[in-house]
Structure 1
Amino acid sequence: MKKLGLIYNPVSGHALFKGKIDFLIDLFQRHGIVLTPYRTRGGGKDDLGRFLRDIRPEGVLAAGGDGTVHAVVNAMLESDTDVPLGILGSGTSNDFATHLGIHGDWESYVERIAADESRRVDLGLLEGHGQYFINVVSAGMLTGIAHEVKSTYKNALGKVAYYLKGIGEIPRLRSFSLRIAADGVQYEEEAFLFVIANSPVVAGMKQIGHDIAIDDGMLDLLAVKKTGLPQFMSVAADLFSGKSVTERENILHVRAKSFEIHTEEELCSDIDGEYGPLLPLRVRTLPLALSVYC
């Protein structure tokens, strides 16, 4: 039988996934696939790379939110586990899975996994830190909200909890000086925040920009320039309603293979919804570095 590793977060989302494990094991077995599960514990107690090296799976499943997928992707790269990744989104935010069109119809998804339907996608790398990201790295206003919302609120309200927290942050809008080198081209802006995205789905917002692709060997930087509160609210309204903002005059949009980001003040980054390193950052694309079931 074909063997897949299943890495699941027992507390993500509404903490309901652990009640579906027997259903999934049976579903996969009916397709000739055996699952080897690993229950994450968090707090630096997991050694996912060792788990993957020990079981040598023919595919890997990540069950949880964006943070779980981030951890699994890094473990796969660290352990040289170049097999397809499947995403069973069960967290509050499942941005990359949403972009791939992977939703709650797990029976259909398991059929596609059994048929080995997969594609290669790009990854991002934070150089000097050895961290890979599958979807986004960001910093500035609103970008750390995921860490500040209590898990009880996330489980009860889902993405609404993020939006409510974000609205509460708006009165404290504060800009910073941003210096960017994108494939060697220099930009300077006073900005509220920036994101470097692999897909157009970020923080539950389904279309931050047009023509953002996960397999073009490029990353897209969007920075919200310093502006008045009405203009900022207008950008936020477009984002929350799923409209692209890349064409707006108060948005800097740059597509490149590599970025260097510097600021005049100390800022902490966010990487796939998890705490990232302090700026400055050096980011580059790893073209088609990962295979995903889709």
Structure 2
Amino acid sequence: MKKLVLVYNPVSGKAVFKKRLDEIIYKLQSRGCMVIPYRTTPENADLVDFIRLAAPDGIIAAGGDGTVHEIVNLIMREKLNIPMGIIGTGTSNDFATFLHLDTDEYFDRIASGQTMKIDLGKVGDTYFINVASAGMVTSIAHEVDTRLKNAFGKMAYYVHGLKTLPQFRAFDLTVRMEKEEIHEKAFLFLVVNSSVVASFKKVAVQASVQDGVLDLIIMKQCNVADLMIVTTELLAGKDISQRKEVIYRQASTFEVECSEELTSDIDGEVGPKLPLKIETVPQVLDIFY
């Protein structure tokens, strides 16, 4: 019998996961899995000890991007040689959306132990499964009140973004890669592992979690009208990589500097200030898939 620790965030996704907890446990138990739930707290001080004592065959992260980010870093930091599953229940769970981990069939794959190895990104000692960024989108993620996210879900991000659009300021950005150096006035940059960011589904159309590289997207300084057009195309799921306002590259390492004292965003969490060195860690994490 497969033993799984289910780490769940009780307030994610408008706090509705508490109502789904029994359903999730049933779906796993009915497939022959033993489920050991762990309810997250702001500190999660005993989570490592809990997992080591449970000695599971896998860890399932149920929550938003923040919950997934924490479990990824726990597995890597503690060198836990066990696979991870993702059940998206938060306001935003971009990586689960990218891999379509939202069907009943996914529980079959967890129970059968079907996994794949994926790349991660790394900034300093912190790993990320989906995105490292800085600029206008970053500030939106950090400024939206938790109560608004729980009440209105993804719409809270979009409303706040539209409200603050006139305040966006460009900065001088330098990005060094293995074979190229870019200097640009920019509104933001994203270094991504998947194509789904902030619930936009085609931010990086060439992205793959098994190709050994990360994808760079730079939104160049432009007028508000052009910025709105790019945003509208993203909302419509269109490819923006060829637009004149966008720079798109792929590389295994990025050194990023800017003229402002910007704070980065790592998988939706507050990251270090720039400058940053961002690198790909290839084929390093097993996930149920």
Given the two structures, how large is their TM-score scaled by the length of structure 1?
A: 0.94
**Relative to 1, partners in 2 of residues 1:145 and 1:33: Cα closer, same or farther, differing over 3 Å?**
same
What's the counterpart of residue 115 of structure 1? Answer: 112
For residues 202-226 of structure 1, give each alpha carbon's deviation from its aligned partner in whole angstroms, at most 9, with x where no partner exists: 0000001321111100001101111
Structure 2: distance between partners of 1:31 and 1:251: 46
What's the counterpart of residue 66 of structure 2? Answer: 67
- AA aligned opposite 1:113: I
Structure 1: distance between partners of 2:152 and 2:247: 32
Does residue 91 of structure 1 match 2:86?
A: no
Structure 2: distance between partners of 1:139 and 1:46: 29
Give 5+ residue unaligned stretches, structure 1.
Answer: none
For residues 164-212 of structure 1, give each alpha carbon's deviation from its aligned partner in whole angstroms, at most 9, with x where no partner exists: 1110111112000101111252111110001000000000000013211
Aligned length in residues: 289
Give 5+ residue unaligned stretches, structure 2.
Answer: none
- AA aligned opposite 2:90: G
Structure 2: distance between partners of 1:292 and 1:69: 12
Matches within 5 A, 1:22-41: 22-41=22-41
- The range that moved more, 70-79 or 153-162, is 153-162
Cα offset, 1:100, TM superposition: 0.4
**Relative to 1, partners in 2 of residues 1:214 and 1:94: Cα closer, same or farther, differing over 3 Å?**
same
Cα offset, 1:22, TM superposition: 2.8
- AA aligned opposite 2:62: A
- The range that moved more, 108-117 or 197-206, is 108-117
Does residue 264 of structure 1 match 2:259?
A: yes
What's the counterpart of residue 125 of structure 1? Answer: 122
Q: Secondary structure at the match of 1:14?
A: helix
What's the counterpart of residue 5 of structure 2? Answer: 5
Give the one of 188, 211, 216 matched to 1:216: 211
- AA aligned opposite 1:90: T
Matches within 5 A, 1:1-294: 1-42=1-42, 44-103=43-102, 105=103, 107-127=104-124, 130-183=125-178, 185-294=180-289
8 Å Cα contact 1:260/1:281 also seen in 2: yes
Identity, in percent, stands at 45
8 Å Cα contact 1:102/1:109 also seen in 2: yes
- The range that moved more, 77-86 or 59-68, is 77-86
Given the two structures, how large is their TM-score scaled by the length of structure 2?
A: 0.96
- AA aligned opposite 1:234: I
Q: Secondary structure at the match of 1:91?
A: coil
8 Å Cα contact 1:263/1:280 also seen in 2: yes
Structure 1: distance between partners of 2:140 and 2:41: 22
Structure 1: distance between partners of 2:27 and 2:232: 41
Q: Secondary structure at the match of 2:189?
A: strand
RMSD value, Cα = 1.4
Cα offset, 1:13, TM superposition: 0.9
Cα offset, 1:154, TM superposition: 1.5
- The range that moved more, 144-153 or 186-195, is 144-153
8 Å Cα contact 2:219/2:247 also seen in 1: yes
Structure 1: distance between partners of 2:47 and 2:214: 27
